[in-house]
Structure 1
């Protein structure tokens, strides 16, 4: 399965640099971010964060992305914490007041030192997990106060969700990506937060996938 996935990624990245596909990858940012054209372009940008940033897209479910954008637009100067850096880091930085992102992979994070240059509202944290996940999972507790949004899209997601629950501002949301994976369902369903589960067209992949939004229930 890993070999098939690797071949698919290599093929799509290769096609992304050829002829008519190159134009799709560099589709104008003014086009509908939730439309089929921008989604199609994202297929050739899989694991290519520079291209995803050019397209101004995160690697999430399309419907969930629309809801998140609406939330941030209505929230104004939102404060965001993100487990797992990616194209979403820049996408969020352009829509929130402050974002703190924690990453366990140093070479991957080093790339984002360049990609987030010019975004003064981004704080990048390196917390390795070689000796256990605690420093990574508990990185959120290095900061005072609550967050309007917490994104869980990296390692040890179940533990991150448990850690995040008490740090979420009332009325805020937790974005839990790849929430259809069986290993995450117990943590999500056992959470004190209420889940809205989006399934369907997702950026970068040709198959439908899940992104869940979790909120505090009614008082």
Structure 2
């Protein structure tokens, strides 16, 4: 990619920094977050300081924060990091699963440094990553899917979600599972499974949020599945 194209698009997978990887143009109202995101991006690149918030589309963060405020919530998270700390400060309990041993150790260290005891990070690889029989908690109010094997994580966690719960799939404009598929006909399997669940369960609904990403100078999408299982 030539420097000018990289400057405009921010990478080979989008038309511009305001487009998601699926080709959608970000709503103009989301530009209100640009000063904050630009400052976070500059701090990250110059000083190595990432914002102390999840690396999600900015407009997703208050949605999940309001959900966590409503009542004590049990959370499961696939893929750990700044989001783990942020969630643990707001939730009743957080079970985080991470397939990078080094990153799991780093997140656990950061939790310990902050004396946060409401979150645990478990290192797991391969099928152990999405085998939820390996953890003691077996029901959840909120699931964050932002790591590996995303469609397998969706399959594993759906039966364990409580009534009126929420699943958030980060990077829903991309296909992060591509290297795990067994067939070339597979694509965006995690997204398809969430949509199928919503269509099969009246009262459940899908919400896609497209905004600038915290700490990054480009936009992206996240998919929320609001479950109704009365």
Question: CA distance change for structure 1 residues 78 and 51 in 2, over 3 Å: closer, same or farther?
Answer: farther
Structure 1 residue 71, shift from structure 2 partner: 0.8
The 1-side partners of 2:92 and 2:145 are apart by 19
Asked whether the equivalents of residues 75 and 95 of structure 2 are also in contact (C-alpha less than 8 Å), the reply is yes
Aligned length in residues: 184
Partner residue in 1 for 2:166? 173
Q: Deviations over 1:164-210 (max 9, x none)?
A: 11111111101110011253232332234531110122212222211
Q: Secondary structure at the match of 2:49?
A: helix
Which ranges in structure 1 are unaligned for 5 or more consecutive residues?
A: 10-33
Partners of 1:175 and 1:211 within 8 A in 2: yes
Equivalent position of 2:178 in the other structure: none
* Stretches of 4+ aligned residues off by more than 6 angstroms: none
Contact residue 196 and residue 214 of structure 1 kept, 8 A: yes
Tell me, which stretches of 5 or more residues in structure 2 are unaligned? 12-31, 176-186, 199-203
Shift of 1:144: 3.8
Distance 1:95 1:47 in 2: 28
SS at match of 1:209: strand
RMSD of Structure 2 on Structure 1 (CA) = 2.8
Aligned to 1:204: 215
Q: Which has the higher contact order (CA 8 A, sep 6+)?
A: 2
Distance 2:133 2:91 in 1: 17
Checking the alignment, whether the CA contact within 8 Å between 2:75 and 2:94 is kept in structure 1 is: yes
With the length of structure 1 as denominator, give the TM-score of the two structures: 0.74
Residues 3-38 of structure 1: CA deviation (Å, up to 9, x unaligned): x79xx89xxxxxxxxxxxxxxxxxxxxxxxx95443
Match of 2:153 among 160, 167, 170: 160
